[in-house]
């Protein structure tokens, strides 16, 4: 499918990945509608970082995924839906699992129903590598068993299965994309890479959670291209695709790598408050990206070091904003 001039909807458009995807789609010449959660303050989240000229080309719709009327209004007359809207904080899912079910599961149901009613041509549902849990084997391919090691991962797993059921039952043109640990500019200190870099720029001693888990980090521009390739491919409907670098690194090694980039020897300290419950911690995520390479012709372009340098540059330029940002769960 050629995306240029198509009417596309991005849910969660004010978020980290959503803002980058919205920006790229608008630059490509898509007619972009951005669905963001209503706030009385009226702020646009990360979309405020887009150039004014580009932002004025984007239609902003405010609402709530949990509200079917909001969703129907957003999906009306749309060709392609990129559904990224979700609650994503794993620690907060321990505190309020019901909110994750209502937003991530019911919200996805509302999207699927609206797309069915509007005869949307393609729906890309955003999953997460967290649905795999700790790898029973690595690299993890799309056939790996799903393991709910947190209420967050359980909610995303449920959303995936709902989407799969709409494809099998109603022939809805759904594709599931599973990004592995995306990182890049605009990401909040809730994520491990920005919190390491911010702390490293302001101190040599770091306060972190467990240092042993290994993650597969993918630069956000590569992740965005994964979304676009999935939407463009004629062979992606009904499929699941890992979007991953195919490499893994421990948090301890990540600290060392960032220290070398910044030019500072860093001392990582474990903060017990930041350590997940033992059975909930995913110890290793390493994605097998061969299916994406073969079917949608996607592969990552950025090395971890290249991506980290971009994030260091961005956080240096926005250090005051990161200082003001509270390290919420």
* pLDDT of the residue at 252: 94
Tally of domains within the chain: 1
* pLDDT of the residue at 69: 97
pTM for the predicted model, two decimal places: 0.94
* pLDDT of the residue at 35: 98
Closest CA to 108 of 71, 69, 80, 153: 71
**Cα dihedral 302→15→173→79 (10° resolution):** -100
Beta-strand pair 174-179/182-183:
unpaired
Range of the domain at 153: 7-185+219-246+285-302
Q: Is 100 helix (H, G, I), strand (E, B) or coil?
A: helix
Tell me if 309 is assigned to some domain. Answer: no
Residues lower than pLDDT 50 in the chain: none
In angstroms, the Cα distances linking 264 to 55, 153, 169, 256 are 38, 35, 56, 9
Tell me if 29 is assigned to some domain. Answer: yes
Tell me if 328 is assigned to some domain. Answer: no
Tell me if 83 is assigned to some domain. Answer: yes
CATH number at residue 108: 3.40.50.720
Residue 324 CB: number of other CB atoms within 10 A?
A: 7
Helix or strand holding residue 253 (H, E):
helix 251-262
| Euclidean distance between CA atoms 96 and 8, whole angstroms | 32
| Euclidean distance between CA atoms 62 and 34, whole angstroms | 8
Q: What is the DSSP string of 106-136?
A: IHHHHHHHHHHHHT-SEEEEE--GGGG-S-S
Tell me if 41 is assigned to some domain. Answer: yes
Tell me if 39 is assigned to some domain. Answer: yes
Tell me if 277 is assigned to some domain. Answer: no
* pLDDT of the residue at 327: 56
* pLDDT of the residue at 190: 86
For the chain, the residue count is 329
* pLDDT of the residue at 328: 53
139 upstream amide cis, omega within 30 of 0 = yes
Tell me if 241 is assigned to some domain. Answer: yes
Quote the tokens at residue 215: 């993650």
């Amino acid at each position: 499918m050629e995306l240029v001039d198509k009417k596309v909807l991005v849910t969660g458009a004010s978020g980290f990945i959503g803002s980058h995807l919205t920006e790229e789609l608008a630059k490509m010449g898509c007619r972009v509608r951005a669905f963001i959660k209503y706030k009385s303050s009226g702020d646009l989240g990360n979309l405020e970082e887009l150039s004014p000229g580009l932002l004025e080309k984007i239609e902003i719709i405010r609402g709530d995924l949990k509200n079917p009327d909001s969703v129907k209004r957003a999906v009306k007359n749309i060709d392609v839906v990129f559904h990224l809207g979700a609650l994503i904080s794993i620690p907060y899912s321990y505190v309020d699992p019901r909110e994750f079910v209502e937003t991530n599961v019911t919200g996805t149901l509302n999207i699927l129903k609206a797309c069915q009613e509007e005869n949307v041509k393609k729906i890309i549902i955003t999953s997460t590598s967290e649905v795999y849990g700790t790898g029973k084997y690595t690299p993890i391919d799309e056939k790996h068993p799903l393991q709910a090691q947190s209420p967050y991962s359980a909610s995303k797993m449920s959303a995936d299965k709902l989407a799969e059921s709409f494809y099998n039952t109603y022939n809805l043109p759904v594709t599931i994309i599973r990004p592995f640990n995306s990182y890049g500019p605009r990401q909040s200190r809730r994520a491990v890479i920005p919190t390491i870099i911010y702390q490293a720029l302001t101190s040599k001693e770091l306060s972190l959670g467990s240092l042993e888990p290994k993650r597969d980090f993918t630069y956000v521009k590569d992740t965005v291209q994964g979304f676009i390739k999935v939407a463009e491919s004629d062979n992606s409907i009904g499929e699941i695709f890992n979007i991953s670098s195919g490499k893994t690194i421990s948090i301890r090694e990540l600290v060392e790598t960032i220290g070398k980039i910044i030019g500072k020897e860093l001392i990582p300290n474990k903060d017990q408050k930041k350590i997940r419950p033992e059975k909930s911690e995913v110890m290793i995520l390493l994605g097998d990206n061969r299916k994406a390479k073969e079917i949608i012709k996607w592969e990552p372009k950025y090395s971890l070091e290249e991506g980290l340098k971009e994030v260091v540059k961005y956080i240096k330029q926005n250090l005051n904003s990161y200082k003001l940002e509270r390290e919420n769960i």
